[in-house]
Structure 1
């Protein structure tokens, strides 16, 4: 979704040629798009509170617990992290190409972000409230201001930004012992009985028609675009974009860094990241997923995900560098080249499967069943993406995005020499 837009040259945009694409970035982007569905499907399929408190809805034993645990350890926040890093890399890549042609990148970038924000608003209010496109656009607009800085400065800014929400939530949690009893009681009520009642209401709403869903969809979208954006996601994702810029400039995201750095990232993911997240699981289960989760319980996965995401990136780089599993690389690359289209396709297909204006399976599919559906959706997306990129230069939404950004209809079909 963050692949670069080519410079228009003499006010005429040119498509990205096949030989100019970086396969590592395409593979990473495809991996992120497919991986993000592993967690998003829980929000498509179940009431929103079940994403935070997995015991709030459905069976949480046996195979269903195993699916949740694996997805939490390996996927939750990891692929959104990769997605955000790649977005930051894409900002630098686009800006450098513009500058190399003696053109200003700022106007193009902000026009690009404005259209992405519009896509995000339409997606959030008309299809699925869990949209990330608007957040990416707003964070991308802010992150662009620092793209020229050297990698070390970008790393510093990125880590500080990422630490802001975690530090604020942690500091707030330290004040809990000084809260009045009625405030504590209110928090526990909102986290317990009120949240369960909300989940039951969601079950009824999303098994009804599209219009009946609108009030809740709009309420959730607005909550994510205001409170969550201001106090959490803006800082976390903007910081990740800055890290992505630094990692791109250092050649790490494009597979040009030393081999030992990728093996180190894999080691840190396995030996540090996963154990930290595992400790968080034990902590939250012992506490019964209580109301302290936002202040303490979320910290384990928040920080551990950075290392596990780095391990996923390292694995993908080694996959490309050593030319392993050619069909897997081709599949991920094809999905990555059509990432925006695939992201929106996931929402359209999954809301049709789960919501009342489609098959109406909301709240009735176990986590094991959700995993099966993820594999089905992946199969469809990979097959369609491979078919599409052999015939067209851009995915359908990528084509629309570029055409609107450059204010000129882009060529779509491939020609024989591409």
Structure 2
């Protein structure tokens, strides 16, 4: 007999997943703050805009080394694990895993579209929802198969980049010039973007819509479809092996940290060196030069993952772990809240500081937002069952208003 599905209770949550999710949602702000505060080209090409000397240079180097793509990788892995976790819960209650999965992620897609087109174009929720509709069909494959397919899928953006790199010599001059301007916009283009974002609400929404549409079409098909889907499949494999639930031995996680860091750090550092040597020219850095961090981030993310699982297994710093876990339990609310706070600080409808904060200032703002979210998440969950957006998502998914306050 089917048992009605209901949200996971606090006592049934897996702390290691919430802990890792909390660290990931805070860590991802180190990179997203650049998109909130600077013209879009500066995210991929640090020489496209702003001061890259002295302390600002080292802020960029350290954020690229430790954060760029690493926390997005962890988020994607966790999302893949979540697909299996939710599927298992549905089967235990004799419900349709597929039906619940599609309902759950349809509403995530709607939340993501609102976020992307009305708040911040760099939203990842739309990408996750779309990819989840595809990878769910492989949920019953054994972990070894999921890992193999995931790694193969991850290779596709690298192959696409190699194809584009080899094709540059055959491209018409006007197409090459357009690529160069995408990579390093002219002064006129930068001023136009600054005016749009600092200007009226209508101009900001038009800018957001254009950038979000590009993310959901061209960028999705050449990058995100493959990277996010591949990482989700790897997340399913890691969950299936018990790696994400802190079920393996301390020795296993220590070896995993050593393996991940010894692979990830050298590749990422070498890639940075090569890009600076090439002067961050489009012909190299947009294609071949981007591959080092793409692959190096896998090793570093696995090292982070093992470190967090090792910490989760320990009995030390229980209060700090509970606060990080609370941030993770409210990951959707905290993720969108970061965009709202960024909009208030940088957009013309707020303080209008877009393009005026150097990388050191961005780091200071990031630390301030971390302090807010680290402070508010646990007290909120002491009184309420869900974060505000988690409550909205669950109420839509279960087609019933969920009880919000704890009894």
Using the size of structure 1 for normalisation, the TM-score is: 0.94
Q: Indicate the residue corresponding to 1:308 in structure 2.
A: 300
C-alpha separation between the residues in 1 aligned to 2:203 and 2:144? 50
- Say whether the 8 Å CA contact 2:3–2:94 is kept in structure 1: no
After TM superposition, give the deviation of residue 181 of structure 1 in Å.
Answer: 5.4
Q: Indicate the residue corresponding to 1:322 in structure 2.
A: 314
| CA spacing shift, 1:185–1:104, aligned 2, 3 Å | closer
Structure 1 segments (4+ residues) deviating >6 Å: none
Deviations 1:205-241 (A, max 9, x none): 1111222212211110000000000111011001100
Q: Secondary structure at the match of 1:131?
A: coil
After TM superposition, give the deviation of residue 56 of structure 1 in Å.
Answer: 1.6
C-alpha separation between the residues in 1 aligned to 2:173 and 2:388? 55
| CA spacing shift, 1:222–1:357, aligned 2, 3 Å | same
Q: Secondary structure at the match of 1:224?
A: helix
Alignment of 1:212-361 (within 5 A): 212-292=203-283, 293-361=285-353
Q: Indicate the residue corresponding to 1:396 in structure 2.
A: 388
- Say whether the 8 Å CA contact 2:45–2:183 is kept in structure 1: no
Alignment of 1:368-383 (within 5 A): 368-383=360-375
Give ranges in structure 2 of 5+ residues lacking alignment.
Answer: none
C-alpha separation between the residues in 2 aligned to 1:218 and 1:130? 11
Give ranges in structure 1 of 5+ residues lacking alignment.
Answer: 1-7
| CA spacing shift, 1:187–1:103, aligned 2, 3 Å | closer
Of the three residues 58, 76, 80, the one matched with 1:88 is 80
Q: Secondary structure at the match of 1:60?
A: coil
Alignment of 1:48-197 (within 5 A): 48-179=40-171, 183-192=175-184, 194-197=185-188
C-alpha separation between the residues in 2 aligned to 1:264 and 1:149? 26
Deviations 1:241-264 (A, max 9, x none): 000000000000111123333222
- Say whether the 8 Å CA contact 2:6–2:398 is kept in structure 1: no
- Say whether the 8 Å CA contact 1:91–1:144 is kept in structure 2: yes
- Say whether the 8 Å CA contact 1:56–1:196 is kept in structure 2: no
C-alpha separation between the residues in 2 aligned to 1:9 and 1:406? 15
Q: Indicate the residue corresponding to 1:46 in structure 2.
A: 38
C-alpha separation between the residues in 2 aligned to 1:183 and 1:125? 28
After TM superposition, give the deviation of residue 190 of structure 1 in Å.
Answer: 4.5
Using the size of structure 2 for normalisation, the TM-score is: 0.96
Deviations 1:154-186 (A, max 9, x none): 001111111111111113212334445565455
259-268 vs 335-344, which moves further: 259-268
C-alpha separation between the residues in 2 aligned to 1:323 and 1:200? 53
Deviations 1:68-98 (A, max 9, x none): 1111000000001000000010010010111
C-alpha separation between the residues in 2 aligned to 1:188 and 1:17? 52
RMSD: 1.6
After TM superposition, give the deviation of residue 270 of structure 1 in Å.
Answer: 2.7
Of the three residues 18, 25, 32, the one matched with 2:17 is 25
